[in-house]
Amino acid sequence: MQTTSDQDARLFRRLRWLTAFFILGLVLSGATAIPLETELNWIVGWMGVYEHTPTPLDQWLLRVTDALHDMNIRYPFMAYGGDWLAFGHFMIALVFVWAWREPVRHRWLFDYGLVACALVIPFAMFFGAARGIPFWWRMVDCSFGIFGAMPLWLCRRWAAELAAR
């Protein structure tokens, strides 16, 4: 039979693992905001967009790829916005290191993250519509809030459970 301290240690390990997973997701998500044109060229080639009649997804990817290419040639300074987007992800990830180190003491960070994840949805819906982003792509953006909230909700629950002991 496990003792309470064994259960606490197991719960603490799960909490740290899931927090690390969330941090890694933020870092990777941010890192992908920097080489957008290269990534889109790779995706378009991998999907074989030029080898068949383009689907609505293919058409959207080609439009975005062409726009990024044109922007990077004519207005390379505009990519700086993507660099700052990446920086924002890295800084948010850095803040969650405190939750990784001391999840009970800094459990409020899980609440903060859940609020941020919830706000992704209205933000994506409003600004996506204002910028002409297709609805289905706004749903992809909203999924970041939904999938980000899942580990944070578990972490919040587990940190509260440890705090109560």
DSSP element (H, E) containing 31: helix 4-31
**pLDDT of the chain along its 165 residues, tens only?**
567 799 999 999 999 999 999 999 999 999 999 999 999 999 999 999 888 888 999 999 999 999 999 999 999 999 999 999 999 999 999 999 999 999 999 999 999 999 999 999 999 999 999 999 999 999 999 999 999 999 999 999 999 999 998
> Which value, to the nearest 10 degrees, does the dihedral of the CA atoms of residues 57, 22, 154, 149 take?
-40
pLDDT, residue 51, reads 87
What does the pLDDT read at residue 4? 76
Output the CA–CA distances (angstroms, integers) from residue 108 to 18, 100, 148, in the order listed. Answer: 16, 12, 16
Q: Amino acid identity of 48?
A: G
Instruction: Please name the residues in contact with 96: beta carbons below 8 A apart, sequence gap of 6 or more.
Output: 19, 22, 23, 26, 109, 113
Q: Are 47 and 61 in contact (CB under 8 A)?
A: yes
Q: Given this model, what pLDDT does residue 22 score? A: 98
Q: What is the pLDDT of residue 1?
A: 56
What is the structure's pLDDT at 53?
A: 87
Distance of alpha carbon 145 from alpha carbon 66, whole angstroms: 28
> How far apart are the C-alpha atoms of 20 and 13, rounded to whole Å?
10
Tell me what pLDDT residue 165 has.
80
pLDDT value, residue 16: 97
Q: Residue 19: how many CA atoms within 13 Å on its side-chain side?
A: 29
